[in-house]
C-alpha cells in the first residue's frame, strides 16, 4: 500500500511542473530629447506587475498621460502631483511579480512567471525633476527573455 501511494504521488509531481519563467532583461535610458550620454540611468526602481491585475496603477498612468500639465498650468500641475503620489502609493501596495534596481549602467534583470501582459514600471528621484518615471507593457509567454527599454523622461520636458 505504501509503495502504491509513493508511486501515485510521484506520478502527480510529474504532471505538475514548475511554471516557466521569462527574464526581463532591461535598461533605463534617458529620453532621446535629453540624451547627453550613451550610458543608462543608475538607481531606477523597476517593478514588474501582472498588467491584468493592477487596474488602479494603469488608471493612474492613464491620468498622468492625459493631464495637460507640461505647459505650466498650475491646476494641472497640482493634479499631476497628487496623481503621481497616488501612483507611487499604489505601486508600493500592489502585488509584484518582481523588483530590481538599475545598476551603474542603467541595466536591470527581473525573472517573472510567464504572463500574457507584464507592466514594467520604473521610477527614480531626480533632483529638480517633478516626475521621473516610465512604463511599458510586454508579453512574457513562450519567451525565455524579453528586452525592455524604459525611457526615463523628465515629464516636465515632454
Inter-CA distances, 146 with 12, 55, 80, 120, 138, Å: 32, 23, 31, 11, 8
Higher-confidence residue of 73 and 32: namely 73
Contact 152, 44 (CB under 8 A): yes
pLDDT digits (tens, 9 = 90+) for 76-135: 888 988 999 999 999 999 999 999 999 999 999 999 999 999 999 999 887 766 678 999
Contact 37, 152 (CB under 8 A): no
Among 32-41, 54-63, 77-86, 121-130, the range with the most confident prediction by mean pLDDT is 54-63
Closest-CA residue to 46 (of 122, 138, 110) = 122
Topology at the third CATH level for domain 19-54+96-154:
Immunoglobulin-like (2.60.40)
Q: pTM here? A: 0.80
Average model confidence (pLDDT) for the chain?
A: 83
Lowest mean pLDDT among 29-33, 36-40, 125-129: 36-40
Q: How far apart are CA 91 and CA 80, in angstroms?
A: 16
Q: What is the pLDDT of residue 13?
A: 52
Amino acid at each position: 500500500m505504501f509503495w502504491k501511494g509513493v508511486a501515485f504521488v510521484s506520478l502527480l509531481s510529474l504532471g505538475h511542473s514548475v511554471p516557466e519563467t521569462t527574464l526581463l532583461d532591461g535598461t533605463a535610458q534617458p529620453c532621446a530629447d535629453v540624451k547627453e550620454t550613451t550610458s543608462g540611468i543608475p538607481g531606477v526602481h523597476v517593478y514588474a506587475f501582472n498588467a491584468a491585475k493592477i487596474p488602479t496603477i494603469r488608471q493612474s498612468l492613464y491620468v498622468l498621460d492625459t493631464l495637460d500639465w507640461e505647459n505650466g498650468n498650475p491646476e494641472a500641475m497640482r493634479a499631476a502631483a497628487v496623481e503621481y503620489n497616488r501612483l507611487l502609493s499604489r505601486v508600493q501596495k500592489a502585488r509584484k511579480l518582481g523588483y530590481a534596481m538599475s545598476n551603474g549602467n542603467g541595466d536591470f534583470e527581473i525573472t517573472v512567471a510567464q504572463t500574457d501582459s507584464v507592466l514594467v514600471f520604473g521610477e527614480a528621484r531626480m533632483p529638480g525633476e517633478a516626475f521621473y518615471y516610465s512604463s511599458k507593457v510586454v508579453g512574457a509567454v513562450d519567451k525565455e527573455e524579453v528586452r525592455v527599454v524604459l525611457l526615463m523622461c523628465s515629464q516636465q520636458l515632454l
